[in-house]
Amino acid sequence: MIDVQTVEFPEAVTLVGGGAAEGADLRRALGLAPCLVAADGGANVAVASGLVPDLVIGDFDSVTAEALSLIPPARQMRLAEQETTDFEKCLSRIAAPFVLGVGFLGPRFDHTLAVFSALVRHAGKLCLLVGGEDIVFAAPPRLALDLPPGTRLSLFPMRTVRGESRGLRWPIGGLEFAPDGVIGTSNEVTGPLDLRMEGPGMLAILPAAMLGPALTALRSGPRWPSPGGR
């Protein structure tokens, strides 16, 4: 059993959860992020796909004994505390170039909301959630993207936040976003996108087909300060 605070990975990490994880999404993520980490019950998903995770992190209330028996104890990190979700336990302890999360966008909406909350709390971590229809990530200080005109870009605030934009059908400049106020869902790209946020707290949602361009832009752009990690 592993007893460390942070685990360093030389390559990008695919983080698999116990939710809706299509095999195609998992294979696509592993093609970009070859290290496999399971968030608790995500180990069941990995094992069912014929994969043995490099690491399992969580309180182990969802992973089956059968799945654990196939994973060496040296790859198991059991964390009993209940103040954070398994997704946040993983995100706060993984040090890697970037993380692709699969199996976190449903089917349970309460779990998805908890993941979104953790995503903005750790906005300095480069993490994209990958689903069958969408990708979701915390908007960085600046996002410069060249996407086909008409591409859907939704912005959803998890706290009060402001920003500026160029290349959106409905610009965001001068607006104060809040989860119980102005939101920015179902916007569209009209040309080269330049999105700038005054602070962390905004989620960006793009079609799943835009994973490659979004990942490239996020890796080359600035990030929010992230104490104690890459």
- Mind listing the pLDDT tens digit for each residue in 58-76? 999 999 999 999 999 999 9
**Tens of pLDDT along 125-164?**
999 999 989 999 999 999 999 999 999 999 999 999 999 9
Copy the structure tokens of residue 213. Answer: 């361009």
Residues comprising the chain, all counted:
230
Number of other residues whose CB lies within 10 A of the CB of residue 13: 27
Burial class of residue 164, CB neighbours in 10 A (0-12, 13-18, 19+): middle
Tokens representing 90 are 């993983």
- 3-class DSSP assignment, residue 69: helix
Is this model's pTM higher than 0.85 or not?
A: yes
Q: Tokens representing 170?
A: 């409905």
Task: Give the Cα separation of 226 and 204 in Å (integer).
Answer: 19
| Model confidence band, residue 24 (pLDDT cutoffs 50, 70, 90) | confident
**Distances from the Cα of 175 to the Cαs of 35, 157, 185, in angstroms?**
40, 12, 14
Q: List all residues 6 or more positions away from 12 whose beta carbon is below 8 Å from its beta carbon.
A: 32, 33, 34, 35, 96, 97, 98, 99, 100
- pLDDT digit string (tens) for 96-109? 999 999 999 988 89
CA dihedral 143, 148, 154, 158 (to 10 degrees): -10
Q: What are phi and psi of 46, to 5 degrees?
A: -65, -50
Domains, the chain, ordered by start? 7-132 (3.40.50.10240), 136-224 (3.40.50.10240)
